[in-house]
Amino acid sequence: MDEQAWLQRIDRHLAASEDHMRRGNEITARNERAFLDLQNYLREATAMLGRMAAAIHENTVALVEN
């Protein structure tokens, strides 16, 4: 294999590597957004469940007292 063919082969490999890195970065960015969305959802769900538990407790106390 001559030097020019060797350099072209290396260039193709580098181009493929750059494409893989770009796609990996895009996937990582999407995963980060999904994680943040999930984190926000879980924060809201936890707060809602806390309010529900407090309401159930209040109702239970009211029933026991009556």
The torsion defined by the Cα of 44, 45, 48 and 54, in degrees rounded to 10, comes to: -130
User: What token pair was written down for 31?
Assistant: 């995963």
Judged by DSSP in three states, 19 sits in helix
- Render each residue's pLDDT in the chain as its tens digit; 66 residues: 799 999 999 999 999 999 999 999 999 999 999 999 999 999 999 999 999 999 999 999 999 997
The domains of the chain are located at 22-66
Encoded tokens for 25: 């970065």
Answer whether 0.85 is exceeded by the pTM. no
d(CA 12, CA 6): 10
